[in-house]
Amino acid sequence: MLAGFEQPTYGEIRLNGLDIKRLPPYFRPTATVFQDYALFPNMNVYQNIAYGLKAMHVPKEHRAPQHVQAAIALQATLEKKIAPALANLTTKQQALQAQVSAIRSEYSPEALHLKIAKLRSHQQKQQVHALRHQAKKMRDLETKQQLTTKADSLEQAYRDKKPLDRRVDRLYGKINAIETKLAKLRTQPVIERDNYEAKHLTRSLTKTELAQRTVAMIAKMGLTGNEHKMPDELSGGQQQRVALGRAIITEPQILLLDEPLSALDAKVRKQVQGELKRLHQELNITFILVTHDQEEALTLSNRIVVMNAGEIVQVGTPDEVYDSPASE
């Protein structure tokens, strides 16, 4: 979702105060390293790393003042033009959210409610199943009966709240439609300004600049001497470094890492962990890393977000999460 490959069911994705939910992937200041690296099999190391630079633009050395002012004026004009529509949609959004809050007050304290209906249904069934499974294993009849009664009560509570769920889901659908319109309107001035600047204030890299940046990145990744090797001729660790180099060379504000170390053996994983920490310090950009490995999260992170079934369970520093976990 951060990269723009999937659209969120509800809510916003804010970057520097702007909801980027409707921004296409190529407009987002992000780069992604996939779990399987997704290297181009028909390109060598040099070509893989250089790939993103072909679409990259840099500021022109001589920027005409009138074009700079025109870009600023274009964005300001568009923002003024859409202001009434934004205000109208925001008022409707707030009214719908007030209705959701009113319905939420009708839920019993133990009733589980999640925004995503499929996820909610799965979690409800999971809780009831866990209680019944626990009851089956109990030899003590009194404890068995208590667990069975609890499961029955929970199941009944879920049935009782279904009408409320349906009402809330309908409202969330309307809210999501408004949020989508708001995101599209808010990003329109930014996109128009970027398009104008791309045409009048920036230029593509020259062949010399592209080559210099690529060679420098290959050296930074410790891949010098492997420039002409194909992906299937590289070790897992080398493939990982190629994927990192290809992502970083485009100078993103945010680097997204989707379980990038899961396919590596323990020794190489430790080595790449060290390289990731070094790169994070050198580049001074945001890294967002998804992992199921507790040790990896505690080792690499400045801040950890613990999630379960699509919901945030805890946010904190590695020490806070380790010393005071909010879940098992």
Summarised one tens digit per residue, pLDDT across range 75-88 is 999 999 999 999 99
**What pLDDT sits at residue 224?**
95
As a dihedral over the C-alpha atoms of residue 35, residue 39, residue 45, residue 49, rounded to 10 degrees, the angle is: -80
**What pLDDT sits at residue 108?**
66
pLDDT at 307 over 80: yes
**What pLDDT sits at residue 113?**
57
C-alpha to C-alpha distances, 17 to 12, 14, 20, 187, nearest whole angstrom: 11, 6, 9, 11
Q: Across the chain, what does the average pLDDT equal?
A: 88
State mean pLDDT over 146-161. Answer: 82
Residues sharing a CB contact under 8 Å with residue 214, sequence separation 6 or more, in sequence order? 46, 49, 50, 53, 249
- Name the band, by pLDDT with cuts 50, 70 and 90, for residue 27: confident
Q: What is the pLDDT of residues 249-279, one digit of tens each?
A: 999 999 999 988 887 777 888 888 888 888 8
**What pLDDT sits at residue 115?**
56
Residues sharing a CB contact under 8 Å with residue 67, sequence separation 6 or more, in sequence order? 196, 200, 201
**What pLDDT sits at residue 265?**
78
**The token pair that represents 269 in the structure block:** 């994983």
As a dihedral over the C-alpha atoms of residue 151, residue 157, residue 161, residue 162, rounded to 10 degrees, the angle is: 40
**The token pair that represents 207 in the structure block:** 């062949």
Q: What percent of the chain has pLDDT over 90?
A: 48
Q: What percent of the chain has pLDDT over 70?
A: 96
Tell which wins on pLDDT, 95 or 276.
95
Q: What structural domains does the chain harbor?
A: 1-56+205-290 (3.40.50.300)
Residues sharing a CB contact under 8 Å with residue 243, sequence separation 6 or more, in sequence order? 33, 34, 37, 38, 39, 260
How far, in Å, CA of 171 to CA of 277, rounded?
44
The pTM is what?
0.76
For the chain, give the number of residues. 328
**What pLDDT sits at residue 109?**
58
Alpha helices in the chain (DSSP H): 45-50, 65-104, 117-137, 141-160, 162-200, 207-220, 236-248, 266-283, 294-300, 318-323
Instruction: Give, rounded to a whole angstrom, the gap between the first and last alpha carbons of the chain.
Output: 27
- Name the band, by pLDDT with cuts 50, 70 and 90, for residue 103: confident
